[in-house]
Amino acid sequence: MDKVTYPTGVENHGGTLRIWFSYKGKRVRESLGVPDTIKNRKIAGELRTAVCFSIKMGNFDYAERFPDSPNLRTFGIAPQDVTVADLTEKWLSLKEMEIASSTLGRYESVLKQMVARLGGHRLVADITQEDVLVARKDLMTGYHSPADGKKTIAKGRRVSTVNYYMVIMSGVFKFAVDNGYIEKNPFSSVPLLKRSRQPPDPLTKDEFIRLIDACFQRQHKNLWALAVYTGMRHGELCGLAWEDIDLKKGTLMVRRNRTKLNEFTLPKTLASTDRVIHLIQPAIDALKDQAELTRLGKQHQIKVMTREYGHSITQPCTFVFNPKLNDKTHRAGDCFSVNSISNVWDAAMRRAGIRHRKAYQSRHTYACWSLSVGANPSFIAAQMGHADAQMVFQVYGAWMPDNNALQVEILNKQLSDYAPHMPHTAVMTG
């Protein structure tokens, strides 16, 4: 059998041809992906000769000649054919493994809006800081300036929302930098917009009474009483089950959350998972009343997604709040959705004639009421599922008035019995 010969710099690699050459002092190999035939060996030899000549003449464009080569990263060369749409799709597919489904949905929405503004067909390397600034302005004003030039006007977004978009996209383009698609992140030099923090807007005691009175259903009264007296997130309320509650001990354990996509997940943060809420008497009273309505309801086996990608656990749940109680359409599910309880709040606020706030203010109401009467911030943080008291100080500082007198009263009551007896000094008389 005749020995197979190859042109200089051409070799067989797993049945296909590749060439090797020196570039910037390093020996590199590039796979051609063609079968090892006599004809292809000749063409590969000619290609290798042309590459070496271009390198010698100083006009070799590595990215143009081998656009998919992994060697581009070695030499710090950015691929020239990666579009904005390709980049965002790749980033999202890799990110999917580390985020919850609800977060993935938000990211998809953000990327869709930003790709439309930056131009999905445009090369990532062509995106400039000016493009980023124009997109940010469009988000704020409501303008939409797509590549086809047909502007549309919609409602402008809040500063916090725009900043959220910028942070997500900056992460996408940082991914592009880290992987050699571009040399500089055009989002890194665009500062976040300044915004004034909106202070909590809790219900007053009178407004709370009016809200409860405006709830037509007994179950709705119990739901919002429990929300205000525990500070639970609304998704946690939707997923609350009787299996989580011990009325004798006066405790409630938060084990799951219902997302806006109607999936069950673990609570929002690690500090929130399996946290024990110590119930005050009004919360216990609301649960005792609700027990008459749903405690003997049907138990369901609920699939709860964990933080590990693709992993779930099954939990037995007899839901505390059941929308089927007063459902006349026979279309209600086995537990409330986050949107449905927000609608209940909005309707009750209108009937009560109370200045409108978002339903999330029920959580703020619990924190503000508790802090205003001198509750320990660390205790409140644990009740609400915060990792520490820092968030409580930052958000609710205004509801922590100078209550030194109250603190002294508490200390006097608790510590006076332990104080040693101090004899009075005799008064000298002359």
Higher-scoring residue by pLDDT: 27, 178: 27
Quote the CA–CA distance of 213 and 205 in Å, as a whole number: 13
Assess whether 268 carries a catalytic annotation: yes
Domain boundaries, the chain: 10-74, 84-178, 205-401
Quote the CA–CA distance of 11 and 19 in Å, as a whole number: 6
Average pLDDT, the chain: 86
Please classify residue 94 by burial: count the beta carbons closer than 10 Å to its beta carbon, then call 0-12 exposed, 13-18 middle and 19+ buried. Answer: exposed
Of the pLDDT bands very low, low, confident and very high (cuts 50, 70, 90), residue 423 is low
The residue written with tokens 């809040």 in the block is 158
CATH architecture assigned to 84-178 = Orthogonal Bundle (1.10)
Quote the CA–CA distance of 295 and 275 in Å, as a whole number: 22
424 pLDDT exceeds 60? no
| Residue 389 pLDDT | 86
Question: DSSP string covering 346-370, please?
Answer: HHHHHHHTPPP--TTHHHHHHHHHH
Closest listed residue to residue 74, CA positions, set 229, 180, 217, 212: 180
| Residue 39 pLDDT | 92
Please classify residue 317 by burial: count the beta carbons closer than 10 Å to its beta carbon, then call 0-12 exposed, 13-18 middle and 19+ buried. Answer: buried
| Residue 258 pLDDT | 92
User: Among the options 221, 363, 364, 366, which is catalytic?
Assistant: 363
Least confident residue range of 38-42, 166-170, 267-271, 281-285:
267-271
Question: In the chain, what percentage of residues exceed pLDDT 70?
Answer: 88
| Residue 330 pLDDT | 79
Least confident residue range of 46-55, 101-110, 216-225, 283-292:
101-110
| Residue 74 pLDDT | 78
Higher-scoring residue by pLDDT: 127, 306: 127
Question: In the chain, what percentage of residues exceed pLDDT 90?
Answer: 56
| Residue 363 pLDDT | 94
Residue 200 in contact with residue 368, Cβ under 8 Å? Answer: yes
| Residue 395 pLDDT | 85
Domain 205-401 has what CATH class? mainly alpha
User: Which residue type sits at 95?
Assistant: K
Gyration radius of the chain over CA positions: 32
Least confident residue range of 80-84, 207-211, 240-244, 357-361:
80-84
Handedness of CA 340, 342, 347, 348 (dihedral sign): positive
Least confident residue range of 68-82, 92-106, 284-298:
68-82
| Residue 179 pLDDT | 79
| Residue 118 pLDDT | 93
418 pLDDT exceeds 70? no
pLDDT digits (tens, 9 = 90+) for 31-66: 998 899 999 999 999 999 999 999 998 888 887 888
Of the pLDDT bands very low, low, confident and very high (cuts 50, 70, 90), residue 199 is confident
Assess whether 396 carries a catalytic annotation: yes
HSE-CB for 386 with a 13 A CA cutoff: 18
Quote the CA–CA distance of 296 and 79 in Å, as a whole number: 63
413 pLDDT exceeds 80? no
Quote the CA–CA distance of 236 and 216 in Å, as a whole number: 23
- Looking at the DSSP assignment, which residues form a beta bridge with residue 187? none
User: Among the options 62, 107, 366, 396, which is catalytic?
Assistant: 396
269 pLDDT exceeds 90? no
**Model-level pTM greater than 0.85?**
no
Quote the CA–CA distance of 146 and 202 in Å, as a whole number: 41
Phi, psi of 374 (to 5 degrees): 95, 15
149 pLDDT exceeds 80? no
Higher-scoring residue by pLDDT: 233, 407: 233
Tokens encoding 351: 């009937």
pLDDT digits (tens, 9 = 90+) for 91-120: 998 888 777 777 888 899 999 999 999 999
Assess whether 324 carries a catalytic annotation: no
Quote the CA–CA distance of 63 and 180 in Å, as a whole number: 11
212 pLDDT exceeds 50? yes
Q: Which letter does DSSP use for residue 184 in this model?
A: S
| Residue 314 pLDDT | 94
Handedness of CA 156, 162, 168, 173 (dihedral sign): positive
User: Among the options 73, 95, 210, 268, which is catalytic?
Assistant: 268
Of the pLDDT bands very low, low, confident and very high (cuts 50, 70, 90), residue 358 is very high
Tokens encoding 167: 């942070």
User: Which residue type sits at 408?
Assistant: V
Residue 121 in contact with residue 147, Cβ under 8 Å? Answer: yes
Average pLDDT, integer, range 379-406? 79
Of the pLDDT bands very low, low, confident and very high (cuts 50, 70, 90), residue 430 is very low
User: Among the options 18, 117, 233, 255, which is catalytic?
Assistant: 233
Quote the CA–CA distance of 212 and 218 in Å, as a whole number: 9
Please classify residue 194 by burial: count the beta carbons closer than 10 Å to its beta carbon, then call 0-12 exposed, 13-18 middle and 19+ buried. Answer: exposed
User: Among the options 117, 136, 157, 386, which is catalytic?
Assistant: 386
Assess whether 233 carries a catalytic annotation: yes
Residue 389 in contact with residue 227, Cβ under 8 Å? Answer: no
Tokens encoding 104: 């993935």
402 pLDDT exceeds 60? no
361 pLDDT exceeds 50? yes
| Residue 69 pLDDT | 81
User: Which residue type sits at 301?
Assistant: Q
Quote the CA–CA distance of 333 and 58 in Å, as a whole number: 70
